[in-house]
Structure 1
Amino acid sequence: MTTTTEFTFATAPGALPILGHAPHLMRDPLGFLASLPAHGDLVAIRLGPQHAYVPCHPELLRQLLADDRTYDKGGLFYDRLRDMFGDGLATCPQAHHRRQRRALQPAFRTASLRNYIGGMEKETDALISPWHDGHTFEAFPSFRHLSMRTVMRTLFGTLCTDARATAVQAAVNPLLAGLVPRTVLPEIVTRLPLPSNLRYTKALDELPAVVDRLVEDFRHARPEEATLMSLMLDARDEDGRPLSARELRDQVVTLLVSGTETTASALTWAFLLLAENPQVRDQLEEEVDRSLGDGPAHLAQLPIVRRVLLETLRMRPSAWLFTRVTRTRVTLAGHVLESGATLFLSPHPIQSRPDLFDWPERFAPDRWVPEHGAALPHSSSFVSFGHGARKCIGDEYSLLESALALAAVSARWRLEVEPGSDTRPVSTATPLRPRSLRLRVTARHGASA
């Protein structure tokens, strides 16, 4: 297959002996990725002895994402993800994707999403009800616990408990901590008997066991309420076959991990950006206050809330790095890639381009106002949820959950950044999160809120 040659190809400068560009990527991931479009539309980088190619033009990236036969899920990142997810929807090769997507799609249609709103509201209320004036908390762990509880309630209904959520999170954390290092560092480093490597190996055994117990308990209890797990157990593919026990486990792990971490990341960055931009925060609070009479569920539909989330994901994409592998020899941007070549895909080189977004370093939710017409960012320049057949199946679920939480918190509380926070991104984290963001709570409508 031969693709267009109108795009330019370049090799990123600054590769170090043996390690290549890995230190740059791990020291300042967003800064390094944002620097690549200045060199070309397709930029080669080196990670240890391996080469990878980063698409830095929006049309080139979407071309790759749309052709999932040629550019299949695989490569260094997905090899590690499959350690956790198996062959779930997010990680399975193209040959298995269509069957899984069709079986799961009903669970994420608009009618199904409405069934999850009540659980989302209850979990958010459980998080914020104990807050008081002057209360402080570390943002990402708190929002991660909220998201884990919310996804587990969506999946398992009343079988969701703090103990079960804690057990899942304890198994997930070492795996996510080891994901990026295992993607960018030489394999010999990941095989050393280091504490982090030992924790990773132990968690690989623990996570499937925890999830299998959850699924088995649900099968026995089978609650009456509408849950995502019920829909998955009843799902049939086009040949009438249900999901196998292994497929169920892989899908549950995929939803628990991806649905928890990305939403927690988005909420963490959103509250930081709002604290740094009080004029935007005032607008959001006014919108929430005007809409409170319509009930909590209505808060998910508020335009300013949604624009704040879109702008947050533009500036701080939760899924900031993933890979594809070529399944055949191709010519891309005038450069020949052999079968098995690795592509590093990231929204950030696209979503930080000044020719696509005026003042890209500026937090400007109003750039998403529909009335802006031609000035509205083109769909090809926003790929935080991916594109094409492999676009995130839970994109609207994630936005719904994030919007409800953002609006519910903002209706009662104002969050300010505590001194001493270190808001630089953790370079080895999946998804993207600050090193430390401690927030202080102030009641918006009197001390009792």
Structure 2
Amino acid sequence: MPAIVPSPIPEAPGALPLIGHALPLLRDPLGFMRSLPAHADLVRVRLGPVEAVMVTALDLTRTLLRQHDVFDKGGPIYDKLREGLGNGLGTCPFQDHQRQRQLVQPAFRSDRITRYAALMTNHIDTVTASWNDGDVIDAYAEMGKIAGLTLGQSILGGVLPPKALTQVLADAPALMEGVVTRAVTPPFLQRLPTPANRRYHQARSRLRETALAIIRDHRAAGTDHGDIVSVLLTGEEQTQTVGTRLRGLTDEEIVDQIITFLVAGTDTSQATVAWALYQISRHPDIEERLHAEVDTVLGLNPAAHHHLSRLPLTTHIITETLRLCAPVWLITRTVTADTALGAHRLPAGTTVAFSPYLLHTRPDLFPDPQRFDPDRWARQHPTPPRGALIPFSAGKRKCLGDQFATTELTLALATITARWRLTPLTHRAPRPVLSMVTRPHRLRMKAERRHPMRNDEASSLQ
């Protein structure tokens, strides 16, 4: 019997000479992602001059994430991320990952998450208490204040003055927008002195200078500030379980970690809470149940770490927001050795890509995927297939800060909705901004002060 020869991997429609699929990716990246599973489990997509094999099937995505040495971080997205953020834990190749992770992991132990949660509670309380009844706020920007203040202490030890911290919060999304634009456009456009290119380079330079200054300040102080930078500086000579010594992080490597945490910890958190507030405003039944939950659990207090286990609906709303508005919508990898993926052979050097958003909106994995339904995560509902929800990736390269992020997101949403009802000024859905993170453009909402329900009223709605 003759051998079965697999058919060629089809190319997604809409590619143009030189720029490939840059136009659909720039105009409607999420719509383009949703269209790809209809073509095949593997689809060729051209990111500027680079061709990538897009993985659209769950089983093949799981294979890719399990074999992180074969499918290493690389390709146009990670090449540009590494250019912008440096060679930190989120961007480094396989050969550097294990050492970096062992050195950074102590900063995210459960006891430290509890300590960071107290900082989160204080800053969420401060920001939300500054609003006035009837104020119109930019939800994304206000969440940025919370994320920035929290990161300013949990990562940097509170050493940055307010003006410098404000600049960091502006530079982080500017850097990420530049990364994505540069990943899907030809190199010659990246060299032009356009306003966007200048913003990118200025943001990158300022963030690195700020990180170096923070390291110098910490070294000069010589004390443990109880923050992540202190862990990185004192983790030089950590001992592995096998008894060998780890080479500590250099100052340049610590700069890369700081920038990675600053960028990942601001844009992702503020975008997710902003999207959650928007989704709640569109679903009065969910909003009413959420108000009942937070009124029962919190009363007039801000949400704290010990409340988390008693906020199931709040947690499910965050999970559903991470599914429907996946923070990171496109990730690339590089094949390091000839391998097979599904029915196809992929030679070393092939760029492969996957999309958490694509998986999260497949109707075979999540029924009625465009519907915002926090109850799909309740115990009595069918569990989605293993590995179908990957907002923080999966496998050994899963985001180390996932517990930090979900703690902050849940505390923020609970405190805000216990005190305020936020209503968009327009019925038009906010436009997602093209960046590494899917964030809403100008989500302006009116803040109306709430009066918590009595416990008997709240209990009747839960």
**TM-score interval, normalised by the smaller of the two chains:** over 0.9
Correspondence for 1:93: 93
Deviation string 1:143-165 (CA, Å, 9 cap, x unpaired) is 12321221121123342442231
The alpha carbon displacement at 1:9 in A equals 4.5
Correspondence for 1:292: 298
Q: Is this contact kept in 2: 1:58–1:350, CA < 8 A?
A: yes
User: Does residue 424 of structure 1 match 2:424?
Assistant: no
User: Does residue 209 of structure 1 match 2:216?
Assistant: no
Correspondence for 1:67: 67
For residues 47-446 of structure 1, the aligned pairs below 5 Å read 47-222=47-222, 225-235=225-235, 236=238, 238=240, 239-292=245-298, 296-297=303-304, 298-301=306-309, 302-372=311-381, 375-419=382-426, 423-426=430-433, 428-445=434-451
**Partner SS, residue 296 of structure 1:** coil
Q: Is this contact kept in 2: 1:100–1:237, CA < 8 A?
A: no
Structure 1: 4+ residue segments shifted above 4 A: 5-9, 222-225
Aligned length: 439
- For residues 302 and 427 of structure 2, the distance between their equivalents in structure 1, rounded to whole angstroms, comes to 37
Deviation string 1:199-251 (CA, Å, 9 cap, x unpaired) is 22233322211111112112223556522222222222531433221121111
- For residues 40 and 152 of structure 1, the distance between their equivalents in structure 2, rounded to whole angstroms, comes to 45
The alpha carbon displacement at 1:196 in A equals 1.4
Q: Is this contact kept in 1: 2:65–2:395, CA < 8 A?
A: yes
5+ residue gaps, structure 1? none
- For residues 255 and 43 of structure 1, the distance between their equivalents in structure 2, rounded to whole angstroms, comes to 32
RMSD: 2.1
Deviation string 1:319-378 (CA, Å, 9 cap, x unpaired) is 111210111122323233221111122111111111111110100000001232xx1112
- For residues 367 and 420 of structure 1, the distance between their equivalents in structure 2, rounded to whole angstroms, comes to 25
1:174–1:304 CA distance, 2 compared to 1 (3 A): same
| 1:99 alignment partner AA | R
Q: Is this contact kept in 1: 2:99–2:246, CA < 8 A?
A: no
| 1:410 alignment partner AA | T
- For residues 314 and 390 of structure 2, the distance between their equivalents in structure 1, rounded to whole angstroms, comes to 19
**Partner SS, residue 241 of structure 1:** coil
Further displaced range: 223-232 or 178-187: 223-232
Q: Is this contact kept in 1: 2:169–2:266, CA < 8 A?
A: no
Q: Is this contact kept in 2: 1:9–1:334, CA < 8 A?
A: no
- For residues 241 and 429 of structure 1, the distance between their equivalents in structure 2, rounded to whole angstroms, comes to 34
1:47–1:241 CA distance, 2 compared to 1 (3 A): closer
Q: Is this contact kept in 2: 1:137–1:438, CA < 8 A?
A: yes
**Partner SS, residue 144 of structure 2:** helix
The alpha carbon displacement at 1:123 in A equals 1.1
1:155–1:50 CA distance, 2 compared to 1 (3 A): closer
Q: Is this contact kept in 2: 1:291–1:299, CA < 8 A?
A: yes
**Partner SS, residue 410 of structure 2:** helix
5+ residue gaps, structure 2? 453-462
| 2:277 alignment partner AA | F
Query: What's the TM-score, normalizing by structure 1?
Result: 0.93
